[in-house]
Amino acid sequence: MTPDKGSGLEQLFGFYDRRGYQHRVGTGKRPAIVVIDFSNAFTANEGDFPGGDFSKEMAATLRMLDAARAKRIPIFYTTIAYADPQNEAGLWGKKVPWLYHCKVGSAAVEIDLRLEARPNEPVIVKRFPSALYKTDLLTRLKALRIDTVLLAGCTTSVCVRATTIDMMQHGFMTLPVADAIGEFDPQLHALHLKDLNSRYGDVVSIDEALSYLSSVDESASSANDK
């Protein structure tokens, strides 16, 4: 999204540009894809959760997943789910009571079927925004010696943002794929992508992501069959 000339968003973008936030972290040789919370709660308004229409973003995600599968590159999904939502959601649940609908075993927490998730592509259950916080995803990524993480999913301003920052803090080259990331508001989407690209990771287009994946040596990418 390009902000309208003279808008507040354009002024904010100018701030980042004037600060010189133009450095890139680059890519490594052992990527993985992490799809954040493209569950029915967010994509199909399942369980009285006010989801959004992320059809285009999921279509871009599926293109990336197909490319990764062809190269045997590891794929992970996350979903927000609670066995006891009232207690396990903590203060986040108090701030966002819709989360109480994300109950383990419900249709709301299942990964959207349009992504064609496969049995060897793990679903990481998380309770809070970051995909790494109190989950085993970090252990899994380290076991596979992953150095680069491409992020898809939703939402830009919450769980994608939290995961990008956390991935960077743990030493992963992190690439949020703009076309494969959904947000409820286009200005929030644009602003948070700008901030993430400026400070924490390298925001890329779906075409850039596919080009990178095509360049990966299959023998160097530990696949999900481990």
E strand or H helix at 175: strand 173-182
Q: Which of 9, 34, 35, 159 is catalytic?
A: 159
**Residues contacting residue 89 through CB under 8 Å, at least 6 positions apart:** 82, 99, 100, 127
The alpha helices in 78-185, defined as continuous H runs, are 85-88, 90-95, 137-143, 161-169
- Mark whether 159 is an active-site residue: yes
CB 163 within 8 A of CB 36: yes
Strand partners, 151: 34, 176
Note whether 77 and 35 are within 8 A (CB). Answer: yes
Looking only at the bridges linking them, the beta strands covering 148-154 and 31-36 are parallel
Instruction: Give catalytic residue positions.
Output: 159
